[in-house]
């Protein structure tokens, strides 16, 4: 399977769809209406309440919507990796890895605010990766800031992604105060409209404007299957990071910067996990994009044909066991 996705064959798009259906069909067997969490912000609450009202008694709709979101995210991220030439040759490994990674923890297969955040952040990452060769960046930086501000209205801890915006400007652009100001202005723009809505609806309150923030380390997983899923998430990432480091000298400067940006993406994602931490693992999905890229590197750069296949099929078998039999 790794060998199939290592090639850029138009038919691989269909293979990827079948691959995703096999791994994620369990979400259709046990559909649920997703609950609200205290970290879910204004926009997501409106979206979920409206969807629940329209499709009351039809939880399978959320399963279909979740699958479509995950598959489109995998496809879009794969196209971005190929467009930005993160790998020497175009392939479908990033898409395969994204489907694989997002299946390791069962809670990642359900509709949630962090899942919607991922859709936006894939687009944001693409816009960030194009800043290096762009001459007119003010509009792009402002749009990046706006989209980053919007995701905080979906999921409160996502406010940490403003750090990623500044990291991207630091890596991709020479320091220009105007560009940093444009990013900050874009980030605050959605809140400007939020203030207007709250004022006009007589819901103005500092609790609605300044949310409570706290940091807490995640507890040790009590479930052996969660622990095994985290191990299968981390080990290929370490292997992929080793291969990326070994091949940095062969990469163009822009590609090196894109890999650095992905690593910073992961670091900020870990910060988000710590903000207003909950006992569930739904919010961990904000790390799925960078993890998928490094997993793809582990499969792509390995000279040993056996080890990537064994790693893949071991992960594949684990996912089937957890999602269908546990």
Compute the Cα dihedral for 263, 76, 126, 149 and give only its sign: negative
Nearest-angstrom CA–CA distance, 27 and 324: 9
How confident is the model over 40-58, as a mean pLDDT?
Answer: 82
What angle, rounded to 10 degrees, do the helices at 253-274 and 113-129 form? 160
Convert the pLDDT of each residue in 66-85 to its tens digit. 999 999 999 999 999 999 99
> Quick check: pTM over 0.85?
yes
Compute the Cα dihedral for 200, 201, 205, 206 and give only its sign: negative
- Under 8 Å between Cβ of 23 and 320: yes
Convert the pLDDT of each residue in 90-121 to its tens digit. 899 999 999 999 999 888 888 888 999 999 99
Convert the pLDDT of each residue in 162-193 to its tens digit. 999 999 999 988 888 888 888 899 888 888 88
């Amino acid at each position: 399977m790794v060998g199939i996705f290592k090639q850029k064959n138009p038919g691989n798009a269909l293979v990827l769809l079948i691959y995703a259906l096999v791994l994620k069909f369990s979400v259709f067997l046990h559909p649920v209406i997703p609950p609200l969490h205290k970290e879910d912000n204004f926009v997501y609450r409106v979206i979920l309440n409206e969807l629940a009202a329209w499709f009351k008694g039809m939880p399978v709709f959320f399963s279909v919507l979740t699958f479509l979101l995950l598959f489109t995210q995998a496809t879009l991220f794969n196209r971005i990796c190929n467009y930005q030439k993160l790998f020497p040759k175009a392939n479908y490994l990033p898409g395969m890895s994204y489907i694989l990674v997002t299946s390791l923890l069962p809670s990642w297969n359900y509709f949630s605010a962090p899942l919607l955040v991922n859709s936006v952040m894939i687009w944001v990452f693409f816009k960030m990766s194009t800043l290096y060769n762009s001459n007119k960046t003010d509009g792009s930086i402002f749009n990046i800031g706006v989209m980053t501000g919007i995701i905080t209205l979906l999921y409160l801890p996502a406010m940490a992604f403003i750090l990623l915006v500044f990291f991207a400007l630091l890596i991709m652009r020479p320091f220009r105060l105007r560009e940093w100001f444009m990013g900050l202005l874009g980030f605050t723009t959605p809140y400007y409209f939020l203030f207007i809505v709250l004022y006009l609806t007589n819901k103005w309150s500092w609790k609605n404007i300044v949310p409570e923030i706290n940091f807490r380390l995640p507890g040790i997983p009590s479930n052996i299957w969660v622990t095994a899923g985290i191990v299968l998430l981390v080990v290929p990432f370490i292997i992929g990071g080793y291969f990326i480091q070994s091949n940095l000298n062969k990469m163009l400067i822009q590609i090196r910067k894109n890999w650095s940006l992905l690593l910073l993406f992961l670091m900020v994602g870990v910060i988000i996990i710590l903000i207003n931490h909950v006992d569930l693992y739904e919010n961990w999905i904000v790390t799925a994009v960078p993890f998928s890229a490094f997993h793809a590197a582990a499969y792509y750069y390995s000279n040993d044909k056996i080890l990537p296949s064994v790693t893949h099929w071991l992960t594949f078998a684990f996912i089937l066991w957890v999602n269908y039999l546990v």
